[in-house]
């Protein structure tokens, strides 16, 4: 069951990611990304991380992507105009260098790892909201508080950036 | 047939490479932000997979932190893009080559 779910969601996620990069239209790209994030929730489910799976759908596919779609549709005209200038042809071979470096790094790690199979069964309740919250509010309490400051700074920053200056006419 | 850590690492690598190549090739700033989100998602999958491997929930906590950082990054990035669009009427990074108007 887990095997089927992993291959199904994994394949769909890679396809959706590729389609996002390849689609000219930004709205279509955002929709493919939402699809990829929903499949990521399935991947989390196979990792016995139900809480993360729920949050992936709620936060990523829900909140963040709605924000993206909202902005794309607000700036619709030029965003949909597409990108006529492509990368120069002589630059294409250089595109292969960073992927090659990353692939070699991962392959090197996997060659050195002798046993990569998971422990047979996760203990009961592993990854449930109760256990993650217990850890979040005890050992990682400082990080939890700091992340709230990050969010508040982000809220204030985006408010300050988005404020329209009434003295200057809308150009 | 068994799903091992290797499967998850390969999947996350593919996703990360997709996001990275998209970030390099695409010229639309909003789609570039989406590619960053895809790369963050790949990193989250690796964190969750290692968390399962070690049977330690610390990885899950850090995925939560990563969610919060991704949300903050998307909000700030999109606010900057809206402001740039107001001034320059474009979000194509090829045309945004100067800091001044």
In a domain, A154, yes or no: yes
Shared domain check, A72 and A6: yes
Q: Tokens for A13?
A: 């996620």
The pLDDT of residue A81 is above 70? no
Find all residues with CB under 8 Å of A82, minimum gap 6, and list them.
Answer: A24, A25
Q: Write down the domain spans for chain B.
A: 5-92
Q: How confident is the model at residue A82 (pLDDT cuts 50, 70, 90)?
A: low
Higher confidence at residue A83 or residue A59? A59
Q: Whole-model pTM above 0.95? A: no
In a domain, A94, yes or no: no
Shared domain check, A4 and A76: yes
**Residue B72: which of A113, A136, A150 has the nearest Cβ?**
A150
DSSP letter for each residue of A72-96 = HHHTHHHHHT-------GGGHHHHT
User: What CATH number is given to the structural domain containing A50?
Assistant: 1.20.120.1200
Find all residues with CB under 8 Å of A132, minimum gap 6, and list them.
Answer: A51, B57, B60, B61, B64
Residue A89 CB burial class (10 angstroms; 0-12, 13-18, ≥19): exposed
Shared domain check, A76 and A135: no
Query: A36–B51: do the CB atoms touch at under 8 Å?
Result: no
pLDDT for position A149: 96
Query: A59–B57: do the CB atoms touch at under 8 Å?
Result: no
**Residue B48: which of A47, A161, A164 has the nearest Cβ?**
A47
Domain count, chain A: 2
- 3-state SS class at A124: coil
Domain that holds residue A134: 128-164
Q: What is the ipTM of this complex?
A: 0.92
Angle at which helices B58-88 and A129-136 cross, to 10°: 80
Q: Tokens for A42?
A: 């399935």
Looking up tokens 């740039």, which residue turns up? B84
Which residues of chain A neighbour B81 with C-beta distances below 8 Å?
A: 71, 75
In a domain, A169, yes or no: no
Query: A170–B25: do the CB atoms touch at under 8 Å?
Result: no
Among residues A15, A50, A80, the one where a domain terminates is A80
CATH code assigned to B5-92: 1.10.287.3510
């Amino acid at each position: 069951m887990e095997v089927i779910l992993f291959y199904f969601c994994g394949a769909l996620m890679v396809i959706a990611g590729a389609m996002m990069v390849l689609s000219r239209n930004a709205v279509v790209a955002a929709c493919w990304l939402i699809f990829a994030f929903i499949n990521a929730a399935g991947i989390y489910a196979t990792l016995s991380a139900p809480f993360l799976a729920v949050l992936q759908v709620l936060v990523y596919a829900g909140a963040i992507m709605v924000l993206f779609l909202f902005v794309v549709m607000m700036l619709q005209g030029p965003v949909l105009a597409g990108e006529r200038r492509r990368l120069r042809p002589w630059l294409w071979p250089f595109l292969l260098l960073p992927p090659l470096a990353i692939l070699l790094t991962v392959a090197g790690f996997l060659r050195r790892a002798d046993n990569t199979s998971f422990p047979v069964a996760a203990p009961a309740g592993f990854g449930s909201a109760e256990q993650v919250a217990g850890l979040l509010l005890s050992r990682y309490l400082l990080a939890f508080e700091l992340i709230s400051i990050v969010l508040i700074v982000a809220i204030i920053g985006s408010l300050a950036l988005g404020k329209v200056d009434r003295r200057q006419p809308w150009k | 047939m068994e799903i091992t850590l290797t499967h998850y690492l390969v999947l996350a690598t593919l996703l990360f490479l997709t996001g990275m190549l998209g970030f390099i090739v695409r010229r639309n700033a909003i789609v570039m932000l989406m590619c960053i989100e895809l790369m963050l998602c790949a990193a989250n999958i690796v964190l969750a997979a290692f968390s399962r491997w070690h049977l330690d929930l610390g990885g899950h906590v850090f995925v939560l932190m990563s969610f919060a950082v991704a949300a903050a990054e998307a909000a700030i990035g999109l606010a900057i893009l809206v402001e740039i669009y107001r001034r320059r009427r474009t979000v194509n990074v090829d045309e945004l080559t100067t800091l001044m108007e």
